[in-house]
Structure 1
Amino acid sequence: MARVSQEHLDARRRQILDGAARCFARNGFHATSMQDVLAEVGLSAGAVYRYFRGKEELIGAIATEAFTAIRSAFEEASRATPPPTPDVLLGAVLRLFLEERVEGADRQAFARLIIQVWTETLRNEELAGTLSEGYNGMRVAWTRLVTAYRENGLLHADVPADHVARTLIATAQGFIAQQALFGDVAVEVLEDGLRGLMSMSVPQDDEPI
């Protein structure tokens, strides 16, 4: 009997995850059954259960992929020297995470899936641990980046690096939430808004306001 190649196994697993993600994005985790997933991917129960024992494992795999993808996007985009400013970095991350992974209207569905993953962590301790690990990893990456900003003379405010990191992560999360709720939110809007905020200057005491 011929052995199944690893490429085939990986492609089949990808097929299942993508189909399940479409179902979850369309109907939500709890309204989607395994039968819905089987119909979406066009495979038998035996073929799917070979990779995932049930819906919880599928949710966990999709969540882990999502957390890993956005963390990797931050790390990849922040390796440039000199470090990119927040508007450039967040723009690059969100394009990599949203626009290059999915097309057109699917971006809103993908963003909705991410929101569902976040809410699922409130009832699933394993997912909560995965989210916490990914979040803390991004905080570390951004904290290093803030240090690089200061070393390059780009950031002068005496604000704890972790506070800046949390704020920038919240900006990315807020953008994903807007995409999920309203759709058709261009990354350029976020870049322009950040660039505008970055251009602000605090007047001195003797300057007119």
Structure 2
Amino acid sequence: MPKVTEAHRAARRDEIVGAALRCFAAKGYQRTSMADVIEESGLSAGAIYGYFAGKQELFAAVAARVLEARRGELDARRAHGAPLVPGQVMATLIDGMRHEPFGHVIVQLWAEAAVDPEMRGLVQSVLTRVRDTVRPRLVEWASAEPGRVQGDPEEWATRVLPVVLGAVPGFMIQREIAADFDEEAFLRALPEVFPH
């Protein structure tokens, strides 16, 4: 029997995550079953379960892929000059999220996390990763701009991080519910609202 290479395993795993992302985007998290992911991927159940124990592990993998794409966008935007101001960090993060096919499912997942302890644990792990992505960028900006923030840059970043991250649910909920919500105006306003 030929040995499966690590590259092949990584490609197969990525293929499964892509199928799960498409299913979650089309049906939402709750209405997506493992059978849906198996059908979408075109793989056998054994192939899927060889990589993921179930739907929650798939959700975590999809969230990790989405977050990694946002980190790449932040790094690319930062590569062109000075540290991004907090509003630019959030505008970049939110702009990328709104173009994900998975984006509209996020509000559903937050609602589920409020009542389902297992889902809460998954969403909290994603939130921790988002915090770990944004906080160093806040510290970098505050360190490059002495006198612009009160106190030590590390302490300032810790203090304002929950407020800054509040822009994400604000955007996502209004986008899903408010008929007159102007996405572009929201993104343009972020650098005005947060320190710059």
Same structural fold, with TM-score higher than 0.5 when normalized by the shorter chain:
yes
1:30 is displaced (CA, Å) by 2.6
- 1:87-128 C-alpha deviation (Å, 9 max, x unpaired): 4333333344444xxxxxxx4x42123334434444216415
SS class of match (1:18): helix
1:72 is displaced (CA, Å) by 6.2
Task: Please report the TM-score for the alignment, with normalisation by the length of structure 2.
Answer: 0.71
Q: Is residue 162 of structure 2 the alignment partner of residue 166 of structure 1?
A: yes
Q: 2:105 aligns with which of 108, 113, 128?
A: 113
What CA distance in whole angstroms lies between the structure 2 residues aligned with 1:64 and 1:156?
Answer: 31
Question: Which structure has the greater CA radius of gyration?
Answer: 1
Structure 1 stretch displaced more, 169-178 or 77-86: 77-86
Contact 1:115–1:177 under 8 Å retained in 2: yes
Which runs of no fewer than 5 residues in structure 2 stay unpaired?
Answer: none
Measured at CA, do residues 96 and 137 of structure 1 come closer, stay the same or move farther in structure 2, by a change above 3 Å?
Answer: same
1:38 is displaced (CA, Å) by 1.4
What CA distance in whole angstroms lies between the structure 1 residues aligned with 2:80 and 2:158?
Answer: 20
Q: Report 1:128-139 matches (<5 A).
A: 128-138=123-133
User: Which residue of structure 2 lines up, in the alignment, with residue 192 of structure 1?
Assistant: 188
User: Which residue of structure 2 lines up, in the alignment, with residue 14 of structure 1?
Assistant: 14
Measured at CA, do residues 86 and 188 of structure 1 come closer, stay the same or move farther in structure 2, by a change above 3 Å?
Answer: farther
* RMSD between aligned residues: 3.7
Structure 1 stretch displaced more, 51-60 or 115-124: 115-124
SS class of match (2:9): helix
Contact 2:83–2:137 under 8 Å retained in 1: no
Which runs of no fewer than 5 residues in structure 1 stay unpaired?
Answer: 100-106, 200-209
- Identity across aligned pairs (percent)? 28
1:143 is displaced (CA, Å) by 4.2
Q: 1:141 aligns with which of 136, 144, 161?
A: 136
Contact 2:95–2:187 under 8 Å retained in 1: no
Aligned length: 189
1:144 is displaced (CA, Å) by 0.7
Task: Please report the TM-score for the alignment, with normalisation by the length of structure 1.
Answer: 0.67
